[in-house]
């Protein structure tokens, strides 16, 4: 994808970059809207309508979701992203589900903003194992002005590798969103988390409107919106419906909708909440697909606890995006080679899935050990302390 700063000369002699190839590949994009397909795209869902979808017999709901999915997407394509925490812990927010909050004792060690060269190493590894998008997350309420040059440079460097870029840094001002767009950022993630009605039970340090304002700033900048939520936090069925309504009734649907199953972490206020029934989670994936037919629906946090059969059911329900790799910021995720093996069993991405050999896995493990050793011994001037107040 081209950035806003491409020169006239480069436009005249332009050769399509790998990132542009990824974004323009018809397999990886929603199908062009026809007049009939346009009827599936709505922004006026009601609670009664969404609850009626949840009440459908399971097989009927799955059939409906798969029909919508096949109408709008290649049913055997799953977009693959890799997520890297570029700054971990010490977040001032009080999100009840999050181990990165400074308010909870979860045993998570505070880390400083990762050096750009280390981010690029991880991005290259992600590209080598089949990821098409590289996402970078920082545990901030919002980036400060002194943070912006670092994250802008990260975007530019990752973009130069031919990967789509995504960041999640907390709330953004209009000017910060524009700066990230001009750097080449393709997607910005900012989740609504839950319904407006249940939100105050989960977070008190920022409002629902704060989140909506950030999404609007991202949209106005020209970036793609990535926004979803978390289920299994003790919410009611109406709250799950309310979350999907809040997303689907936006003026434009998010291009990417991550649906997360709560990963309970000891020390957080939600560490003892009752587990959500897996069928309810699959229903949520299916209804997200029906309500936002042109959006990528991402099977996100909580996937490690799901067996292959449940993940396959989620893909059948319309999930068509995942994170590769062993970590989602601070919670675990299935290993990359396990994902590749599952894709092979299901015939997903058969035209592009790469064999992730034992040797490649061993090399990746070696790199991870080496990185941890370097971080323990590295001179402090290689890191920028973004957590300092």
Q: What are 277's two structure tokens? A: 């029934």
Region of 45 on the Ramachandran plot (φ > 0 left; ψ -120 to 50 alpha; else beta): beta
Q: Which of 133, 298, 303, 314 is catalytic?
A: 298
H/E element, 74: none
326 is catalytic: no
- C-alpha span between 132 and 82 (Å, rounded): 8
Region of 126 on the Ramachandran plot (φ > 0 left; ψ -120 to 50 alpha; else beta): alpha
Give the strand pairing for 133-138 and 164-168: parallel
Q: Which of 112, 122, 133, 166 is catalytic?
A: 166
Three-state DSSP at 327 gives strand
Contacts of 28 (CB under 8 A, 6+ apart): 22, 77, 79, 132
289 is catalytic: no
314 is catalytic: no
135 is catalytic: yes
95 is catalytic: yes
- C-alpha span between 324 and 230 (Å, rounded): 19
H/E element, 230: strand 229-231
Residue in 191, 210, 127, 214 with CA at minimum distance from that of residue 165 = 127
Q: Which DSSP state fits 196? A: T
Q: Which of 226, 283, 289, 303 is catalytic?
A: 226
Q: Which of 112, 133, 135, 283 is catalytic?
A: 135
Number of other CB atoms surrounding residue 21 within 10 Å: 12
Please, are residues 289 and 318 in contact by the beta-carbon 8 Å criterion? yes
Number of other CB atoms surrounding residue 4 within 10 Å: 11
- C-alpha span between 260 and 246 (Å, rounded): 16
Alpha helices in the chain (DSSP H): 8-12, 18-24, 35-38, 47-54, 58-72, 116-128, 148-159, 174-183, 199-202, 208-221, 237-248, 278-291, 308-317, 336-346, 358-377
- C-alpha 183: how far from chain center: 20
Q: Which of 98, 211, 289, 314 is catalytic?
A: 98
The residues annotated with a catalytic role in the active site are 91, 95, 98, 135, 166, 226, 298
């Amino acid at each position: 994808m081209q950035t806003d700063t491409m020169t006239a000369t480069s436009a005249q002699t332009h050769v399509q970059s790998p990132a542009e190839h990824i974004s323009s590949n018809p397999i990886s994009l929603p199908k062009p809207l026809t007049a009939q397909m346009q009827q599936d795209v709505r922004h006026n869902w009601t609670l009664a309508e969404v609850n009626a979808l949840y009440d459908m017999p399971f097989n009927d709901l799955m059939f409906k979701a798969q029909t919508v999915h096949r109408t709008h997407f290649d049913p055997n394509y799953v977009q693959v992203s890799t997520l890297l925490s570029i700054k971990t812990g010490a977040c001032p927010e009080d999100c009840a589900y999050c181990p990165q909050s400074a308010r909870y004792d979860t045993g998570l060690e505070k880390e400083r903003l990762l050096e750009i060269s280390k981010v690029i190493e991880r991005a290259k590894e992600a590209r080598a194992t089949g990821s098409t998008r590289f996402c970078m997350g920082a545990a901030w309420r919002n980036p400060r002005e002194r943070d912006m040059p670092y994250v802008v440079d990260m975007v530019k460097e990752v973009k130069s590798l031919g990967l789509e870029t995504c960041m999640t840094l907390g709330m953004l001002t209009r000017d910060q969103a524009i700066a990230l767009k001009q750097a080449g950022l393709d997607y910005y993630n900012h989740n609504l988390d839950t319904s407006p009605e249940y939100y105050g039970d989960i977070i008190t340090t920022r409002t629902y409107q704060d989140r909506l304002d950030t999404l609007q700033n991202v949209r106005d900048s020209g970036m793609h919106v990535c926004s979803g939520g978390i289920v299994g936090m003790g919410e009611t069925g109406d709250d799950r419906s309310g979350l999907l309504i809040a997303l689907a009734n936006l003026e434009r649907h998010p291009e990417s909708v991550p649906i997360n199953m709560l990963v309970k972490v000891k020390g957080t206020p939600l560490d003892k909440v009752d587990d959500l029934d897996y069928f309810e989670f699959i229903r949520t994936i299916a209804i997200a697909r029906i309500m936002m037919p042109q959006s990528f629906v991402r099977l996100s946090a909580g996937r490690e606890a799901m067996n292959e059969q449940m993940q396959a059911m989620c893909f059948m329900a319309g999930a068509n995006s995942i994170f590769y790799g062993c970590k989602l910021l601070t919670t675990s995720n299935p290993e990359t080679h396990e994902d590749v093996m599952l894709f092979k069993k299901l015939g997903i991405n058969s035209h592009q899935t790469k064999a992730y050999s034992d040797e490649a896995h061993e090399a990746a493990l070696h790199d991870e050990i080496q990185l941890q050793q370097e971080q323990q011994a590295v001179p402090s001037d290689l890191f920028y302390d973004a957590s300092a107040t």
